[in-house]
């Protein structure tokens, strides 16, 4: 069994982002970046499968600027065996469709049995890439997974859905996207990172892959959401009860 | 301009989202057809046909479709796509699973989680957990959208019994060449609850980590019951097992837009706020006056929820 895990480098989830005044985007210069949280769960799932001796090799892949090497290094420290970086220009935005097309090419070269992705990237909040890749490959998809169980030539995925959870069984190869309750990603200590520096990262240029990287959607502007003004501090429970009764009555 | 809306349902009932999705579709202008696909879903189709503004229902009733697998519904939509300029659905867990796959098959970038429609090809969607709004223009051959239902007004629906038969007339059975699927359904866990649907409720009461235990969450439920409110939770409360996963509100949970949101023992992390920006009024119960939730709430009571909640419940009028 071979597993490919796709990782995105994003603005760290603890950073409160700032919208640029001219509406051209979000300030990403000099802002802390890290591995997209959902991708961490995807890596952890793959590493756990390897630790159970059910997978031989885990390959981490990222499409992004040279700095994305850091998140790949992090994935190697967590237990991936080698990494691929499809390098883009600094500040170049690659849409999920183009990411999926690039990933498809790597899948065809590497022939993994499973591809793990995060359910969504916390910058674009698209929640698209895994489904798109599965479509382009004509593979089954198990999205928003909170549990993955391997069986002979099949994989069972428990999905987090609006009404609760649903468990499905898919033949391998398949695409799986990770939700946050899939596992608890391990922390990487410095010795693990130093060891990971010996593992190979193969860097290639994304533009050399004969995939149209031009964005399809035209971003007209990025704006701030309306601000909410904090309000009144109430003095006691009766005041709270009165307010709730009042608001409830408003139709 | 013709619009195809994929109806979302649970095989028995049309989900409440659909009336709002049609509301969004009407903003685009143009003729609206709806696709109902499932098994034994004639009644679902009938109800869909009663939504105001729907031209006709395309119905595919087949055992194969007893679950909404993306691998099955995608090829069906691809086949129908030629006739439509816009294909849209709810950005619920069914729509989000299917539509990106559909878009990729049509070599299109979809626009997911639309919160505002400026024109037939210009839309707003939230990014960075709602801390920024992206306005995008689409100049591709077709437009594939998933819509955040809570952001749109619902259209009317003819009452049961009214216009009897008329709904039927709008239903057109469609046929497709046999599709096969090698993915199978094993089991599901549905959260049993008699409280209103979270995403469309007019009052939501939610509890966070500070509730402290699954047992103590009964207080939140009791308050919800008294107000006939839906029940929500934070990721922390769900992860700790106090509440089921489908009660989670936020960036990775449900998005709500109630008249009144009551947040109990919830700090107000930005990923949680991502799900409540549509709330008209926010009330917070928290022991920390500096909590982000208190900063954005219209009204806050500062104190220990364990003392406040029972007292509050007894002081509220029974509905
Ligand atoms: C990628 C990502 C996605 C996420 N998605 C979501 C999501 O969709 N939804 C979500 O909710 N979270 C999400 N989170 C988690 C989020 O960041 C927070 O960790 C979470 O919302 C905190 O939950 P909480 O408010 O219940 O707990 P806490 O942050 O621990 O807050 C508890 C609050 O209760 C107060 N309190 C404590 N004791 C009492 C008492 N006795 N009486 C009254 N008040 C008390 C405290 O002062 C505090 O304000 C996500 C995180 C990440 C990284
Ligand atoms: N540039 C990228 N490089 C590698 N993986 C990506 C990239 N963009 C998206 N992904 C993967 O797709 C998932 C969903 O992203 P999105 O569809 O953008 O929300 C992420 O969690 C990653 O696993």
Q: Which CATH class is domain B203-315?
A: alpha beta
Closest residue in chain A to residue B293, using alpha carbons only: A230
**Neighboring chain B residues of A236 at a CB cutoff of 8 Å:** 301
Closest residue in chain B to residue A12, using alpha carbons only: B128
pLDDT at B169: 66
Average pLDDT of every residue of chain A: 96
Query: For B185-197, b where at least 16 C-beta lie within 10 A, e where not — what string?
Result: eeeeeeeebebbe
pLDDT at A248: 86
The tens digit of pLDDT for each residue in B150-165 reads 999 999 987 655 555 5
The percent of residues in chain A predicted with pLDDT above 90, rounded, is 94
Q: Give residue for tokens 């929820």.
A: B305
pLDDT at B168: 62
Which DSSP category does B172 fall into?
A: E
The tens digit of pLDDT for each residue in B24-40 reads 999 999 999 999 999 99
pLDDT tens series, chain A, 251 aa: 999 999 999 999 999 999 999 999 999 999 999 999 999 999 999 999 999 999 999 999 999 999 999 999 999 999 999 999 999 998 899 999 999 999 999 999 999 999 999 999 999 999 999 999 999 999 999 999 999 999 999 999 999 999 999 999 999 999 999 999 999 999 999 999 999 999 999 999 999 999 999 999 999 999 999 888 878 999 999 999 999 999 988 86
Q: Give residue for tokens 């806050």.
A: B300
Which range among A8-12, A243-247, B133-137, B260-264 shows the weakest confidence by mean pLDDT? A243-247
Q: How far is the CA of A84 from the centre of ligand 2 (A)?
A: 14
The tens digit of pLDDT for each residue in A184-213 reads 999 999 999 999 999 999 999 999 999 999
What is the rounded CA–CA span in Å between residue A179 and residue A37?
A: 9
The tens digit of pLDDT for each residue in B219-240 reads 999 999 999 999 999 999 999 9
Domain coordinates in residue numbering, chain B = 2-173, 203-315
Q: Give residue for tokens 């190697």.
A: A76
Q: B38 pairs with which residues across the strands? A: B61
- Residue B131 CB contacts under 8 Å (≥ 6 apart), including other chains: A16, A17, A19, A224, A225, B270, B274
pTM to 2 decimals? 0.96
Whether the upstream peptide bond of residue A235 has omega within 30° of 0, thus cis, is: no
**Neighboring chain B residues of A140 at a CB cutoff of 8 Å:** 71, 182-183
Read off the pLDDT band of B179 (50, 70, 90).
confident
Common-topology check for domains B2-173 and B203-315? yes
pLDDT at A229: 84
Q: Given an 8 Å threshold on Cβ–Cβ distance, is A125 in contact with B126? A: yes
Map residue B142 onto helix, strand or coil: coil
Tell me: pLDDT of B266 over 70: yes
What is the rounded CA–CA span in Å between residue B53 and residue B23?
A: 9
What domains are there in chain A, each with its CATH number?
A: 2-250 (3.40.50.620)
The yes/no answer to whether this complex scores an ipTM above 0.90 is yes
pLDDT at B167: 62
pLDDT at A251: 60
Q: How far is the CA of A210 from the centre of ligand 1 (A)?
A: 45
The tens digit of pLDDT for each residue in B54-113 reads 999 999 999 999 999 999 999 999 999 999 999 999 999 999 999 999 999 999 999 999
**Nearest CA-CA partner of B33 in B64, B59, B55, B51:** B55
Q: Which CATH class is domain B2-173?
A: alpha beta
Gap from A7 CA to chain B (nearest CA, Å)? 17
pLDDT at B250: 96
**Chain A contact present for B153, CB below 8 A:** no
What is the rounded CA–CA span in Å between residue A176 and residue A174?
A: 7
Atom of ligand 1 nearest to the CA of B250: 8
Tell me: pLDDT of B304 over 60: yes
pLDDT at A220: 97
Gap from B20 CA to chain A (nearest CA, Å)? 17
Q: At what angle do helices A129-137 and A96-110 cross, to 10 degrees?
A: 50
Whether B62 and B41 have beta carbons less than 8 Å apart is answered as: no
User: How many other β-carbons are positioned within 10 Å of the β-carbon of residue B142?
Assistant: 16
Q: Give the residue, out of A74, A88, A117, A133, with the most ligand 2 atoms within 8 A of its beta carbon, to mutate for a pocket test.
A: A117
pLDDT at A47: 98
Q: Judge residue B5's burial from the number of C-beta atoms within 10 Å of its C-beta, 0-12 exposed, 13-18 middle, 19 or more buried.
A: buried
The percent of residues in chain B predicted with pLDDT above 70, rounded, is 96
Mean pLDDT of B158-173: 67
């Amino acid at each position: 069994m071979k597993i490919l895990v796709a990782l995105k480098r994003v603005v760290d989830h603890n950073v409160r982002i700032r919208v640029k005044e001219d509406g051209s985007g979000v300030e990403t210069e000099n802002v802390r970046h890290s591995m997209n949280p959902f991708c961490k769960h995807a890596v952890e799932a793959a590493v756990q499968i390897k630790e159970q001796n059910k997978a031989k090799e885990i390959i981490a892949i990222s499409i992004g600027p040279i700095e994305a090497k850091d998140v790949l290094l992090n994935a190697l420290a967590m237990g991936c065996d080698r990494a691929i970086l499809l390098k883009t220009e600094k500040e170049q935005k690659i849409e999920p469709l183009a990411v999926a097309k690039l990933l498809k090419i790597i899948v065809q070269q590497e022939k993994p049995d499973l591809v793990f992705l995060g359910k969504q990237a916390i910058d674009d909040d698209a929640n698209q890439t895994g489904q798109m890749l599965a479509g382009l490959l004509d593979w089954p998809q198990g999205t928003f997974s909170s549990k993955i169980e391997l069986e002979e030539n099949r994989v069972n995925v428990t999905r987090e859905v609006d009404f609760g959870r649903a468990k499905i069984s898919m033949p391998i190869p398949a695409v799986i996207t990770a939700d946050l309750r899939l596992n608890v990603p391990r922390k990487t200590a410095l010795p693990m990172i130093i060891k990971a520096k010996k593992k190979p990262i193969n860097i290639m240029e994304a533009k050399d892959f004969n995939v149209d990287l031009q964005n399809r959607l035209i971003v007209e502007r990025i704006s701030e959401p309306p601000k909410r003004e904090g309000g009144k501090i109430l003095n006691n429970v009766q005041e709270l009860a009165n307010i709730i009764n009042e608001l409830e009555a408003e139709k | 301009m013709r619009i195809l809306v994929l109806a979302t349902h649970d095989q028995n009932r049309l989900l409440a989202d659909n009336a709002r999705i049609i509301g969004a579709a009407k903003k685009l202008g143009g003729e609206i057809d709806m696709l109902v696909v499932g098994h034994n879903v004639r009644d679902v189709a009938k109800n869909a046909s009663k939504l105001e503004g729907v031209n006709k229902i395309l119905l595919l009733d087949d055992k194969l479709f007893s679950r909404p697998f993306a691998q099955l519904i995608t090829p069906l939509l691809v086949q129908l796509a030629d006739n439509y300029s816009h294909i849209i659905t709810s950005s619920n867990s069914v729509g989000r699973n299917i539509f990106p796959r559909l878009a990729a098959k049509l070599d299109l970038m979809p626009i997911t989680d639309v919160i505002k429609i400026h024109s037939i090809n210009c839309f707003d969607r939230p990014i960075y957990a709602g801390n920024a709004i992206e306005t995008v223009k689409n100049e591709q051959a077709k437009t594939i959208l998933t819509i955040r239902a809570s952001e749109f007004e619902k259209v009317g629906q003819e009452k049961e019994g009214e216009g009897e038969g008329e709904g039927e007339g709008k239903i057109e059975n469609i046929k497709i060449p046999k599709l096969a699927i090698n993915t199978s359904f094993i089991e599901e866990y549905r959260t049993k609850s008699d409280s209103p649907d979270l995403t469309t409720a007019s009052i939501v009461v939610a509890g966070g980590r500070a509730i402290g235990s699954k047992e103590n969450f009964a207080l939140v439920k009791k308050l919800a019951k008294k107000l006939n409110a839906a029940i929500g939770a934070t990721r922390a409360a769900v992860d700790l097992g106090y509440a089921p996963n489908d009660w989670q509100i936020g960036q990775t949970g449900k998005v709500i837009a109630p008249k009144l949101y009551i947040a109990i023992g919830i700090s107000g992390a930005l990923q949680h706020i991502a799900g409540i920006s549509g709330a008209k009024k926010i009330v917070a119960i928290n022991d920390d006056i500096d909590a982000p939730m208190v900063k954005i709430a219209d009204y806050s009571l500062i104190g220990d929820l364990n003392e406040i909640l029972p007292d509050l419940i007894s002081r509220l009028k029974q509905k």
